[in-house]
Amino acid sequence: MTYRNERGALECPACSSQKTKSMSRRRGQELYECLGCGALFGTLTDLAESYARVHGGWCQCPGRATESGMIESRYFDFSGSDGLGVLRRHGWYDPRCKGITQVG
Ligand SMILES: [Zn+2]
Ligand SMILES: [Zn+2]
């Protein structure tokens, strides 16, 4: 989802930083990367496009399950249409393999 504070400024949902970089120039599409923590968030016209950034499956990198902190995780929060309605995907992912490390 795209988050804005009371004054209408874009805000990272993970760290509240207002330093963000737009990742999409397409009409009706809002996708941002936080320059503070690397979170990806925004509103997509088609939610399916978010799977190119964060895969649907779990991160399988060694150490994921046993030693937290070994895998660098970043927050993601996308909303968009799946053709039937607006859905939201959010959680944490590993930016190297793009697999999910934590849901929600
Ligand atoms: Zn952030
Ligand atoms: Zn991984």
What digits encode the pLDDT tens for the residues 71-85? 789 999 999 998 899
Q: What pLDDT, in 10s, does the model give residues 35-49?
A: 999 999 999 999 999
For residue 35, the ligand closest to its alpha carbon is: 1
Of the listed ligands, the closest to the CA of 75 is: 1
pLDDT at 28: 80
For residue 17, which ligand has an atom nearest its CA? 1
Distance 97 CA to ligand 1 centre (A): 20
- Spacing, Cα 20 to ligand 1 middle (Å): 8
Both tokens assigned to 103: 């849901």
Distance in Å, CA 85 to ligand 1 centroid: 27
Whose atoms come closest to the Cα of 11: which ligand? 1
Of the pLDDT bands very low, low, confident and very high (cuts 50, 70, 90), residue 69 is low
Mean pLDDT of 22-30: 87
Q: Is 28 left (phi over 0), alpha (psi -120 to 50) or beta?
A: left
Q: Are the C-beta atoms of 43 and 60 separated by less than 8 Å?
A: no
Q: Evaluate if residue 27 carries a pLDDT over 90.
A: no
